[in-house]
Amino acid sequence: MPTARILRNTLITALVIAAFAVSYRVTEADFPRLFLDLPKGKELLTAFLTPDVFTREVETRTVSLVFPIPCGSAPTEESLPSEGPRLVPSVLCAEPLEKFTLEGYDLQPNSEVVIRWRLPDGRTMTAIRTQTDANGYFTYEVQARPIQSTVDGVASRLEVDTLTPVGELKPSQALKDVLDNMFVTIFMALLSTTLATVIAAPLSFFAASNITRKGCLGTTVYYLFRSFFNLMRSYDPLVMATVFGFWLSFGPFPGFLALTVVTIASLGKLFSEAVENIDPGPVEALQATGAPPLHTVRYGVVPQVVPDFISYIIYHWDINVRISTIIGFVGGGGIGYYLNLSINDFKWHQAGTAIWAIVIVVWAMDFLSSDIRKRLT
């Protein structure tokens, strides 16, 4: 016997190892790369840890100069000013990809500097962000735009914005937007949970074996509802939201619908289990009094399941707040949508604000729901 057991254990171990080996290949796991690339995450993380919450009003001043690429494609700046806010490049024109030094003098002191290219058609490309010192001086090595930028003899320009915070500290636009979107998220969760409750509560009785599974028709209905709940429950609301988003175009509405559908299934399942676990005695007693079937349910079943139902509803509200924070990633609106936008625009500080808001709300909901449920039981 022990040999059989050893054999079995070896087999199981081998299977587990094989499963992990396959998974390792399939997921293209590349841990060295993770460690090499980890510094990339540092910038992200520091941005997240310094969310954009308060701002001062910013005064923007711009200085610019003509800068043809490549040399000779357009006339260069004739002479550089020698006083006042001014830019001094080490060369007056450059070949594509050539590196040169750009200095700025007498700009706003201690300000954020944005260096960018303005192309002849008016579009801009940000090259770099840096900072001026106390004298309003900065220097930075800039790389010339990689492709020919002169069009019809009009050269591109180098522009430098200095952003100086002035005035009082006040809530930033990001904070306002985050709050705005957070409202959408919380309401999305509230509405979908309540709507799903109203629909799932009656439907759950059809999926409860002790109520419905009688006779041929009843059994069919029972299995129908049960499989419907099980099937729908297997989809993450985000997966649902992709299809709803495709149908209704993007916004909070499809996200709300997707969330509702999945919640109906999930609550329906939980509710039906609560109904199945009731004490059958009172139901029998009511049948014995000659009460009609609907009344048997109303007076015999409903009072027994109400506390369970409430507890499940609150639990699900908690989950739904969590999900509606991210449903925006697939076009569901709300804070997730905002976060997605911020990340796509590389606005990391703004994204940080959204992430913090999510953490706080999810945390608060978690606490609130477990507290209420504890009180209920």
Exactly one of 163, 199, 343, 372 binds other proteins (CB under 8 A); that residue is 343
Provide the minimum distance between the beta carbon of 95 and other proteins in the complex, in angstroms, as a whole number: 23
Query: Using the rule CB under 8 A, is 262 a contact of other proteins?
Result: no
Pick the closer one to other proteins by CB: 6 or 179. 179
Provide the minimum distance between the beta carbon of 313 and other proteins in the complex, in angstroms, as a whole number: 12
Provide the minimum distance between the beta carbon of 290 and other proteins in the complex, in angstroms, as a whole number: 3
Strand partners, 141: 101
Query: Using the rule CB under 8 A, is 298 a contact of other proteins?
Result: yes
Pick the closer one to other proteins by CB: 84 or 215. 215
**Amino acid identity for residue 18 in this structure:** A
Provide the minimum distance between the beta carbon of 48 and other proteins in the complex, in angstroms, as a whole number: 8
CA 271/CA 264 separation, integer angstroms: 10
Chain positions 10 to 49 lying near other proteins, rule: CB under 8 A, are 19-20, 22-24, 26-30, 33-34, 37-38, 40-41, 44-45
Provide the minimum distance between the beta carbon of 68 and other proteins in the complex, in angstroms, as a whole number: 27
End-to-end CA distance of the chain: 49
Query: Using the rule CB under 8 A, is 288 a contact of other proteins?
Result: yes
CA 337 from chain center: how many Å? 6
Number of residues this chain uses to bind other proteins (CB under 8 A): 81
What is the pattern of x (binds other proteins, CB under 8 A) and - over residues 114-133? --------------------
Query: Using the rule CB under 8 A, is 216 a contact of other proteins?
Result: no
Provide the minimum distance between the beta carbon of 300 and other proteins in the complex, in angstroms, as a whole number: 6
What is the pattern of x (binds other proteins, CB under 8 A) and - over residues 348-367? -------x--xx--xx--x-
Region from 103-111, 122-130, 140-148, 275-283 binding other proteins, contact rule CB under 8 A: 275-283
Pick the closer one to other proteins by CB: 111 or 263. 263
CA 173/CA 98 separation, integer angstroms: 38
CB 63 within 8 A of CB 84: no
Provide the minimum distance between the beta carbon of 89 and other proteins in the complex, in angstroms, as a whole number: 32
